[in-house]
Structure formats: structure tokens, C-alpha cells
Amino acid sequence: MKTLTDPSLPTQPPAELLEALNYCRRPLIIAHLAPDGDAIGSLLALGHMLHRLGKDPILACQDPPPASLRFLPGSDRITNDVRDYAVDQIIAVDSSDPTRMGSIYDPGEHKNLPLLVIDHHVTNVAFGQINWVEPATAATAQMMYDLALALDIEIDTDLATCMLTGMVTDTRGFRTNNTTARVLDIAAALMQAGASLNRIMERTLNSHSFNLIQLWGRALETVEFDRGVIHATNSLVMREGLDGIVRPEGLTSFILGAYEAKAAVVFTELPENKVECSFRARPGQNIAEVAFALGGGGHPLAAGCTISGMLPEIKELVLSRLIEQVLSS
């Protein structure tokens, strides 16, 4: 069995990846659809580095960067229309399977070009000709830092800002359990190179719309606790007057913070009698089993599923499964 890379050492990009990066002239770099901070941070960091190597990279993503990431240098150069560009290489970043590239990857146009994959997800299906996958890293942006070391590229403020943003967002501000000492060492080096940790934290982790704050308030009014499981509901009615928002982002983690809670779930009612269930649990639990049994998936401590049916019945079903799981663990 292959063990994960020692997280205290830099990861090593494969020699063939370094060769391919040196060889290309106009690579198309693709971040995954519905991009997060690590997708955009890694996309921009790789773009900056290839530009520094004298290349003419095209930076693409099916969906635009969220407002909270538009402070990143180069984010205005990300496009969702690459039809006019003759590119000679495809690089997928932070994407665990080809569907994550969305509409940017055009099999007709792109299937004969070399496809490189750079990703940190343990679930990566290795869909490229060259696959550099490091599941022991906390973010793909952390791999970008190691790539800069391997390519001997000096890290300036812009590059440092993009890398640190990817690392801060994917670790939720250094809070995930894959935040190693090396993650903090790299973060310190990126600050020395000019990145402002405070600005990145403020922009990405402490920025939300007024509507989100209101939705939190309405959903928190419904919070209940039952035998180790804390839950809240976000119904269609609650979202009336709150345009442009569906999920109360961050709420499941927040309610799991209750001393007594071992697992948390937020129910989001969707149109056409569907309910999305977002699960979080404390170490020692395994809520992925519950999510999987209900047609969803995820990790032991963070999982989810979407079920067809009426909200009250689905809540009853899901809560009984979760309570059973928590009581038996």
C-alpha cells in the first residue's frame, strides 16, 4: 500500500510534468467549476509562474470567481470562453475528475492535446496523461508553492497572495485537521514574501452578504437538539425576500460547535420537493455512512445528500438515521 507523502517535506512534481511545463508555449489552465479559493488561487498562481517562464497561459473557469476572490491579482484575466485561443496543452488544477472542468474542456478541440492534472484530492481519478496528485497536502495551492521551489521561481507578492489564499480557504483559516506544521511554515514564508494574511482572512473568511446574515438568523430560529444531533432548517419560505441565496454557508459547522453536539445537519428545502442535507460531525463519528445510505456521499466528518420528498418527512427520516449512528458510535 502506498503511504501518503511525509507532510513535513516539500512534495516533488514528477520530472515529466516539469518537462511538459517547460515545453508548452500557450497552455490552457482550467480551474474547476463553481470555483473556490483554492481553485482560483492555484489557477492564478500557476498562470503567474508560467508567465514568468515566458509562456502565454490562458486562464479559464466555467464560472466566474466569487466576489470575495476578485481582489486576487490576475483574477480579471480569467475567461469562460476559450474558443478563439489556439492552445497547445491543457492543465486541470484542483479538479478530481474531468467533469469538474465543465464547459471549458471541449473534447472535440482538446482531446489530442497533452492533459496535465495537478490536484490534492484523495478522490482524484488520474484523468490526465500526467497526473500529479498529493492527497497529504492541505490545498492544491500548497503544491503550487512546491512547484515554485522545483522550478526555482522567486515568489513575489502577487504569487504569494494567490498561494496563501488557496491555503487559507481550503483549510478554513488553518482549522482543518490536515493543517500541518509545514502548512504554517509555508504560510509564514508567503507572508515574508509580501502576502497579507489579515487581508486574505478578511476578504475570504469574514465576508458575506447581508442576505446570508439574515438567512442565518432565520435558520437559527429553528435550531433544535436531540440526543447528540443538532439541526436547523432553511425552508423556501425563509428565503422569501433574500434574492440570490440558497444555502446558509457555514451554518452547519457553526451549530456543530455546540458543546453537546456530536453531529449536525442543516436541511435546505429546494423547489420541486427536494431537500438538501448538509452533515458535519466531530472526530470519532462517521456520517458518510448515513449520507451514502441516503444516496449521497462525502467524508466521515463532512457529507451530504439530496432527497426527494416533503420537508417534514425527510427531516424525520434523516434525524432518526443520524441519531441511531451517533448513539451506536
Of 174, 298, 299, 317, the one binding a copy of itself (CB under 8 A) is 174
Count interface residues toward a copy of itself (CB under 8 A): 47
| Interface of this chain with a copy of itself, residues 250 to 269, rule: CB under 8 A | 253-260
- Output the CA torsion sign for 98, 101, 103, 109: negative
Residue number with CB closer to a copy of itself (19 or 202)? 202
The contact mask relative to a copy of itself for 221-250 (x = CB under 8 A, - = no) is x-x-x----x--------------------
Establish if 9 lies at the interface with a copy of itself (CB under 8 A).
no
Q: Helix, strand or coil for residue 293? A: helix
Nearest distance, CB of residue 276 and a copy of itself, angstroms: 20
Task: Report the alpha-carbon distance of residue 138 to residue 306 in Å, rounded.
Answer: 27
Using CB atoms within 10 A of its CB, is residue 213 exposed (0-12), middle (13-18) or buried (19+)?
Answer: exposed
Nearest distance, CB of residue 325 and a copy of itself, angstroms: 20
C-alpha cell belonging to residue 159: 504569487
Nearest distance, CB of residue 274 and a copy of itself, angstroms: 25
Note whether 52 and 71 are within 8 A (CB): no
Establish if 302 lies at the interface with a copy of itself (CB under 8 A).
no
One-character DSSP codes across 49-85: HHHHTT---EEE-SSPPPGGGTTSTTGGG-BS--TT-
Per the listing, cell 486541470 goes with 92
List residues near a copy of itself by CB under 8 A. Answer: 67, 173-177, 179-182, 184-185, 187-189, 191-192, 197-198, 201-202, 205-210, 213-214, 216-221, 223, 225, 230, 253-260, 282
